[in-house]
Amino acid sequence: MPTKRWTWALTSITLAAACAGESGSQDQVEVGEHTVVIRMTDDLRFVPENPAITVGDTVVWIIEGALPHTSTDKPGTAGVDEHTILPEGAEPWDSGLLDPGETYRTVLTVTGDYTYVCLLHEAAGMVGRLTVQ
């Protein structure tokens, strides 16, 4: 059973995501029962680095700090091809440039392993992984 604090945090994340100016079909995505939050830090990391996701979960990337970031799984956009891998049949995502305070969200509907990158900080090792079960 969620606590009041968790419910408030989830509501805040949902509202922030809805106001983040997301593009494309992501605008129509409803936040489901399960939301996984990934923080993008000034240490140039995605935290947590490799969360387990269940098909249909909403993943929300939040900038935590003063630096802009991206979250991109679109093949051919990274400097290293292995930094943008997605399972066969999965739709790629690209948050575009996110400034501090902005968020991006997507719903993952295909099982498998995803590798994604912050295009701005790829050379510094800002590469993330998701396992969708």
Q: What value does the mean pLDDT of the chain take?
A: 82
Interval 47-66: pLDDT, tens: 999 998 999 999 999 999 99
Question: Of all helices (H) and strands (E), which one includes residue 6?
Answer: helix 4-18
pLDDT at position 52 is: 86
Interval 82-92: pLDDT, tens: 999 999 999 99
Read off the pTM: 0.74
Q: Is the pLDDT assigned to residue 7 strictly greater than 90?
A: no
Domain of 108, in residue numbers = 4-132
Interval 32-47: pLDDT, tens: 469 999 999 999 999 9
Interval 90-130: pLDDT, tens: 999 999 999 999 999 999 999 999 999 999 999 999 999 99
Q: Give the chain's domain count.
A: 1
Q: Is the pLDDT assigned to residue 30 strictly greater than 80?
A: no
pLDDT at position 92 is: 97
The CATH number of the domain where 68 resides is what? 2.60.40.420
